[in-house]
Amino acid sequence: MAKSVEFVRNEKLLYLEVNRQAVWLNFGAVVVKMLAYVEIVAPNGRTDTIPDVWEFEGDLNALWPLIGQRMARIVMDEDSFRLTFEDGTLIRCKNRMAYDFVGVGEKDLKRETSYPTVLDYLRDE
């Protein structure tokens, strides 16, 4: 079993970028790129999904209210990628072990941590 990767941050979501390849959550110092298997779980339990950005599957409306909200932490493990906001909203990308579908990096993703590949490096430690 691989270890988990955890980032504890207090960054405000400044804006979203959406293109055919990915949804980009820009927190200023941190950028999160998501391509597929995205679930947005609201504090009231409502779940919205974005199965695949490339195929235009899913509804982005659940993401807009997150602008201005603060990130509490990011956790990546064998199960999923989870980005938690201070208001209790959870963005979860379930691990399908197919390819990297989430990236976390600084500003322009020059130093990107790709999920789930990052777990392979941790298994070897």
Q: Using CA atoms, how far apart are residues 53 and 19, in angstroms rounded to an integer?
A: 8
Identify whether the C-beta of residue 107 lies closer than 8 Å to the C-beta of residue 31: yes
pLDDT value of residue 60 = 86
Per-residue pLDDT of the chain in tens (125 residues, 90 and over written 9)? 558 888 888 899 999 999 888 999 999 989 999 998 999 999 999 999 999 888 888 888 899 999 999 999 999 999 999 999 999 999 999 888 768 889 898 765 567 788 888 887 766 55
pLDDT at 108: 56
- Spell out the long-range contacts of 107-110 with Cβ–Cβ below 8 A and sequence spacing 24 or more: 107/28, 107/29, 107/30, 107/31, 108/31, 109/31, 109/33
pLDDT in tens, 30-56: 999 999 899 999 999 999 999 988 888
